[in-house]
Amino acid sequence: MVKLKVETVLSILRLFTNKKNCMNLFESNRLTKLFSIDYPIIQAGMVWCSGWRLASAVSNAGGLGLLGAGSMYPEVLREHIVKCKAATTKPFWGKTFHFLNSGHR
């Protein structure tokens, strides 16, 4: 099981938001609005390690999770999409760059 320490990363990033003349990394922007995410963080689609567990964890934490499907057979990708939809109601992507979320089939 993937243990994602998103809160640690977010704590570090929050340090930068307190510095003078530094842009607020967490304010709403075009990226967060486009993908309906809380933070402008997009997980990389890494072959062999970015399956449904990591993608759903990133999405649940407020970023955009991505299924690294480059090495998956179509039936395996379908299985990961189904499991990711069951694990999150937030948006996520498949490496084929088709936008996926719980409202789409």
pLDDT number for residue 26: 66
Burial class (CB in 10 A: 0-12, 13-18, 19+), 49: exposed
Q: Residue 1: which pLDDT band, with cuts at 50, 70 and 90?
A: very low
Contact 54, 88 (CB under 8 A): no
Note the pLDDT tens digit of each residue in 17-27.
555 434 565 67
pLDDT number for residue 29: 84
Q: What is the pTM of this model?
A: 0.68
- Whether residue 104 has pLDDT greater than 50: no
- Whether residue 11 has pLDDT greater than 80: no
- The type of residue at 19 is K
Note the pLDDT tens digit of each residue in 26-85.
677 888 889 999 888 888 878 778 889 989 999 998 889 998 887 788 888 899 999 999
